[in-house]
Structure 1
C-alpha cells in the first residue's frame, strides 16, 4: 500500500528549509533545488506543493509570521493573571525577536521585509502578518482602560519592534539595550495614558 503523505506537513517542512536557506545566504540564494535538498524531498515534491517559487516564498513568510504570533498568544495563555500592561510588554518582546534563540527568525523576517519593498506579493503577505499582530496588540491595549488610542499605539509598538530588531542585528544595540528602550517606551506609554485618563 503506498505511503500516505501529509501534504501540509510537507509544506511546513519545505518552508523550514526555505527559512534555513534564507538565514544562511539571503533570500536571493534560495533555489528550488537547494530547498529540495535541505528538506530532503525531490524537486517534484516541491513543485507539487508549490506552483512557483513566489508561492513557496509567500508560504514561508506566513510560516514565520505564524510562529511569532503563536509565541505571542502563548504568552497570553501561559500567564493569564498578569496585567494588561505587562502582557503588552511580553507580546511586543516576542514580536521584536530580541532573544538569542530567535536571532535566525529576525534575520529571516528582515530579509522578507527588504524584499517586500520591491515585491508586491511579499508586501501583501507582510501586511497580513502585521494586521494580525496589530489586531492582537490593539485588543490588549484596549483592555488597559487607561490607553485612549489603542490602534495608534499598537502601530507604534510594531514599528518600534521592527526598528529594534534591525538595530540589534547590525550590532548598533545589544539585546539588553533594546529591551531597556522598549521598557522605557512602555513605561512612558502607561504614564501618558494614566495622565490622559485622569484629566
Structure 2
C-alpha cells in the first residue's frame, strides 16, 4: 500500500527549511534545490506542495507571522494569576520585538521578509495583515489598562499602539544590527510602557 503523505505537515517542514536558510544566509539563499535539501525532501515534493517559489515564500511568511502572534497570545494566556496591564503589555511587546535568544533567528527571517516586501505585492499584503492583528492586540492591552485605571482614560489606544509597535519593530532592527542588546532594548520598551501610566 502506498505511503500516505501529510501535505500540511510537509508544507510546514518546507516553511521551516525556508526560514532556516534565510536565517543563515539571507533571502538570496532560497532556491527550490536548497530548500529541498534543507527539508530533506525531493525537489518534486517541494513543487507538489508549492506551484511557485513565491507561493513557498508566502507560506513561510504566513507561518512565521502566525508563530509570532501565537507566542504573544500564549504569553498573555500563560499568566495563571491576574497581572497588571503594564506587565502584560511589556511582555507582549518584548515578544513582538523578538528579543530573546530563541527568537534571534526568527528576527533575521522577519527582517528579510520585510526588506523584500516592496518588491512583492503579496508579501506586503501578508505583512500588512500581520501588523494589523498585532496592532489590535496592543490596542486591547492598552484598553484593558484603561479599564483597570492603570492607564489614563484620555489616551488614544490606537495611536499609542502604533507608536509602541513602531518602537518594538525598530528595536528588532537595532538588536539584529548589534546597536542594542536584548536587555537594553527591553529597558527601552519598559520606559515607553511606564510613560503610558503617568
* Count of matched residue pairs: 191
The answer for the alignment partner of 2:38 in structure 1 is 38
The answer for the alignment partner of 1:106 in structure 2 is 107
The answer for the alignment partner of 1:82 in structure 2 is 83
Q: Distance in 1 between matches of 2:143 and 2:104?
A: 30
Q: Distance in 1 between matches of 2:157 and 2:46?
A: 42
Deviations 1:7-35 (A, max 9, x none): 11111000000000001111111000100
Q: Distance in 2 between matches of 1:117 and 1:172?
A: 25
TM superposition shift of 1:101: 1.8
The answer for the alignment partner of 1:152 in structure 2 is 159
Cα RMSD of the aligned pairs, angstroms, is 1.1
Q: Distance in 2 between matches of 1:172 and 1:117?
A: 25
Deviations 1:75-127 (A, max 9, x none): 11111511222111111110001112211000000011111122222111111
The answer for the alignment partner of 2:193 in structure 1 is 186
Matches within 5 A, 1:6-45: 6-45=6-45
Matches within 5 A, 1:101-140: 101-140=102-141
The answer for the alignment partner of 1:68 in structure 2 is 68
Q: Distance in 1 between matches of 2:143 and 2:37?
A: 47
Moved over 4 A (4+): none
Q: Note the residue ranges of structure 1 that are not aligned, 5 or more in a row.
A: 192-199
TM superposition shift of 1:128: 1.1
Deviations 1:129-167 (A, max 9, x none): 111111111111111113531111111111111100101
Aligned partners of 2:98 and 2:172 also within 8 Å: yes
Q: Note the residue ranges of structure 2 that are not aligned, 5 or more in a row.
A: 147-151
The answer for the alignment partner of 2:51 in structure 1 is 51
